[in-house]
Amino acid sequence: MEIKEFKNVTFVEGGVCAAKGFKANGVHCGISRKALAEKPEDPTMQANLPAEGKKKHDLAMIYAEKPCTAAAMYTTNKVQGAPIAVTKENLKNGMAQAVIVNSVNANTCNADGLEKAEKMCEAAAEALGLSMSDIIVASTGVIGQPLPIEPILAGIPTLAEGLSHEGNTAAVEAIMTTDTCPKEVAVQFTVGGKTCTLGGMLKGSGMIHPNMATTLTFLTTDCAIAAGFLQQALREVVNITLNRVSVDGDTSTNDMVCVMANGMAENAVITSENEDYECFKDALYAVLMNLARMMARDGEGATKLVECFCTGAYDDKTAEIIAKSVITSSLFKAAVFGEDANWGRILCAVGYAPADFDIHRVDVSFASAKGKLDVCKNGAGLDFSEDFAKEVLSEEEIQVLISVGDGTGSAIAWGCDLTYDYVRINGDYRS
């Protein structure tokens, strides 16, 4: 899908390996029930197979050549995966140097979950010559099934040996679950006369709702920034990107977004909310906003990306509440799938949004590459061509434009359509 361009940043290749001093890798170690039922494989042999003989990667590692300041945000679900507890403890000092992450199994709601998350950190630390507390650990996949730790421990040495500055592609494959495509973005920007790079990779397709939208997101940068300001920037940007995405209204147990900054760009360390800090935030927004759009477009079974723009609200928070209400409406999402300009479902979702505004001042339009269609003015319907409406809604990217008055508040939220395939995918997810 098309990358949204931004001023003052240049998009580059490389994902989490784009910034100086970062390596990554991904391998197939065989965590799934099917893989475990088969004869266990030597991860070294799997790594040496030709491309056509390889199985999907399920274990990834990111490594920084220098210690990094680090920050993270986590799911707001009261049920949280064991890796989150371990990572929170490890990041108390605001430092990290590596990430170890598996797909297939979430390591959540398991009596031995903490023990196994710690073992993953210990094994990664040993392979990299680091301390256990230097490791960020994450898992994604099925909830409530014991994590097979043996194949992970067997795969980590091969994973570490294969780390490279071109390993982002293998790493991003390893974190995918129901994702149909890899999601990675990287940008270059200037801070204090120094060229800095920030890149990231994300997994997320289903069980996604704005409360740290269901995702594992890993970000790396060579920009030098103090841990406190790194955490502040991450929180501010996540709230207007990842927290504005919904696919199905379900908030996961394993959400995590983390960022490591190694300072190898050699800019003056960012220690205040100055111009350099704003430049860093702009770069972070460019990466996370594009990753958020990719996640919404790749929602489970989705055929369309929906961007909802709300303007004219009393403040930005009001606009955000309204935009989120629309993109989470199952009825509206189904109408988008059917390419039906049923604007009444939008007004319904606007109407039950817990926010203050005058419903008699609400205007609604649809827009896409095929043009713009006004369907509602001052809370009442407008005459429009159903044929043109079908044409506008036939595109893969649909915009819903909502005005609720003449206030200064505005917000964007991202979602997707609701299709038959969403039910099919989630009807047999565990298998």
DSSP-derived pairing of the beta strands 135-139 and 95-102: parallel
- Among the listed residues 214, 217, 318, 419, the single catalytic one is 214
Q: What angle do CA 198, 201, 203 make, to 5 degrees?
A: 155
Alpha carbon distance, N-terminus to C-terminus of the chain: 29
DSSP secondary structure string for all residues of 325-389: HHHT-HHHHHHHHTT---HHHHHHHHHTSSS---GGG-EEEEEETTEEEEEEETTEE----HHHH
- Residue 406 CA to residue 119 CA, distance in Å, equals 56
**H/E element, 120:** helix 113-128
Structure token pair of residue 8: 């003052």
**Hey, what are 410's tokens?**
């505005």
214 is catalytic: yes
Distance between CA 57 and CA 37 in Å, rounded? 17
The partner residues of 367 in beta bridges, in order of sequence, read: 372, 399
State the CB neighbour count (10 A cutoff) for residue 42. 11
Q: What angle do CA 418, 184, 266 make, to 5 degrees?
A: 145
For residue 164, what are the β-bridge partners? 24
Residue of 328, 367, 335 whose CA lies nearest to 350: 328
Supply φ then ψ for residue 354, to 5 degrees.
-75, 70
Which candidate, 60, 90, 51, places its Cα nearest to that of 72?
A: 90
What positions carry a catalytic annotation?
214
